[in-house]
Amino acid sequence: MNGRQQRVFILGTSLAPLAAALAAMVVLWGRMLSWTDVVIFLIMYTICSYGVTTGYHRLLTHESFKTYAAVRLTLTVAGAMSGQGPPITWVAHHRRHHRVSDKEGDPHSPHLGGGTGLRGAAKNLWHAHLGWQLDAGLTSEPMRYCPDLVRQKAMRRISAWFVPIVLAGILLPGLLGLLFTGTVTGALTGALWGGLARLFLVNHMAYAVNSICHYFGRRRFSTTDESRNVIWLAIPSFGETWHNNHHAFPKSAVHGLRWWEIDLSAALIRLLERLHLAWGVIRVDPQRLAMREQGISLVGESGGSD
């Protein structure tokens, strides 16, 4: 998928689900939302969110744990169904982001654009959230950033079949709706909520990590970028918005480093580990964590920001 195709696709997956949400309002006018629609939405939201957070991000990009080929492929296909891009493209962009986070060359930093004041901030946040994906000239060369994935036949095939996989992610909830209700209406509303509306919400939740989590929130660790922790998005993002934690320890499979920092993606990895489906899980050594936090405290006392 070249830059122009990526731009058209992202624009379509950003606007079509919004139109679907408006259509949903019409469908729901005067009646209650059915339990089947809610269940199908939650099933698909969970599958696709885990595909991005645990599959694309923690497994493929950062290699935070190891697993069997079947689990790896399942998570990758689930990530592709989210519609955020082929796995090779997604990983290339994200590894590039970590190399030059919030510096020149970062694909989606909200701190590099022109303009000042409220208007400039809004422009930069728009770029970090979605605008960067509409740049037809943007490219993160896969052979430079993720040669390991380029060499894997399965990753090349999933990337080549990306669009059909996204469409399957809309068809599947429709089939679930038909199975649950036995009606065409159930199939249509299933595809609407579990497919299009889910596509919109999962994607914009991921986009919020690029924009909101590099602009608002708390900096627990002193990093070379502007990554921040945003507590109120932790649950719907499946733990991805403990973003400052992640940039402090990018290889860690766990982003929620305190007991109260809910991290659903880490919970899935722990489950896979207990089922002997995952191993080599990378975690932050408690002593290293304590030393890093102490360092932050000293920086804060000498005038640094927290």
Domain count of the fold of the chain: 1
Domain hosting 122: range is 3-301
Residue 276 within a domain: yes
Alpha carbon dihedral 39, 43, 46, 47, in 10-degree steps, equals -170
Spatial contact of 48 and 78, defined as CB atoms under 8 Å apart = yes
pTM of the predicted structure, to 2 decimals: 0.88
Residue 141 within a domain: yes
Residue 306 within a domain: no
Residue 168, burial from CB neighbour count under 10 angstroms (0-12, 13-18, 19+): middle
| Residue-level pLDDT, tens digit, the chain, 306 residues | 666 666 566 666 666 666 666 676 566 654 546 889 999 999 999 999 999 999 999 999 999 999 999 999 999 999 999 999 999 999 999 999 999 999 999 999 999 877 778 888 899 999 999 989 888 888 899 999 999 999 999 999 999 999 999 999 999 999 999 999 999 989 988 998 999 989 989 999 999 999 999 999 999 998 999 999 999 999 999 999 999 999 999 999 999 999 999 999 999 999 999 999 999 999 999 988 988 887 644 443 333 332
Residue 144 within a domain: yes
What is the model's pLDDT at position 292? 85
What is the model's pLDDT at position 116? 74
